[in-house]
Structure 1
Amino acid sequence: MSADYSFVADAMKQAVPWVKTSGVEFPEVAGDRVVAELPDAAETRNHVGGPHAAMIFGLGETASGAVAMAAFAPHLGKATPLVARSEIAYKKLALGVLRAEAVLGRPADEVVAELDAGARPEFPVNVTVTNAEGVTTAEMVVVWTLKPNR
């Protein structure tokens, strides 16, 4: 039996107002992988007609946050997920609807074991952003931490 992650999309839209405002949707959500999509909107484009870099970064970071929420939802009463650092590489001009695939870079049980041992664990989420044709337009790594609630 697989876990139910249907709560993640609504939770992200409630917890992070930008997600709802930007129109990000979550067509696929699992415990270690999320796909998020950003619609093409004229008001979010840059000077060359594609989504502004801030929108691309926001999509990738949002997808990574959805992975953190899905992977660690049972533990959010004892820790708060926060971004520790991130890096993005813009590979090709992005045009149209974008898709970000975010994948948890460490097994969740290892991260939780560190948290339970009193540490403030970090875990990477690897994100690939593609256009409607499936061409990679950006790659990023978002390193998250679970900050123990005191």
Structure 2
Amino acid sequence: MSRNLLSRVVAQLERLPAPLARRALTLAFNSQVRFAGTGGARFEHLSATQAIVHMANRRKVRNHIGGIHAAAMALLAETTSGAVFGMNVPDDKLPLLKSMHVDYQRRAQGALKATATLDAGAAARIAAEPKGEMVVPVRVQDESGEAPIAVTMVWAWVEKRRG
């Protein structure tokens, strides 16, 4: 049984040919999380255990030295970790980013790829507890394969308010 609306949508899109499924997932996600769309987040993969999202080094997200802006890198990490986390939050709960810590380690080279993971134990906690929080691991790497930033994303879930 699907955990929530997001996971049901992803399951439906997986029936499409892979390139079309990725494009449809990107459009669907970015229509709901508009700032991710503004930043140009493109989904490669989304499941209950992993999200992989890309960001091209395009004019809209560039800084004054031609790389992807620091805020855009943070947006990519938040989008990726939030997507995999969101796949596991039941429909009667609300996912919320509680804290974001970003250490800028080096200048980014070219496009970025972020990978976030969530293990079965974390997913079980989200399903079982009425509210809570956890770190969702995410790694952002540039075209050189190095990580220009190190991030810690703490996500929380709470019961939705009625009415």
Q: TM-score, normalised by structure 2?
A: 0.78
Aligned residues of 2:88 and 2:127 also touching (Cα < 8 A): no
Runs of 4+ in 1 over 6 A off after TM superposition: none
Alignment of 1:1-150 (within 5 A): 5=10, 9-72=26-89, 75-76=90-91, 78-104=92-118, 107-115=122-130, 120-150=131-161
Shift of 1:142: 0.9
Shift of 1:39: 0.9
**Cα RMSD after superposing both structures:** 1.9
Per-residue CA deviations over 1:43-76 (Å, capped at 9, x if unaligned) read 321122211100000010011111122222xx12
Q: TM-score, normalised by structure 1?
A: 0.84
Q: Report the more deviating stretch, 8-17 or 18-27.
A: 8-17
Distance 2:39 2:99 in 1: 22
Identity score, percent:
28
Unaligned runs of 5+ in 2: 1-6, 14-24
Unaligned runs of 5+ in 1: none
Aligned residues: 141
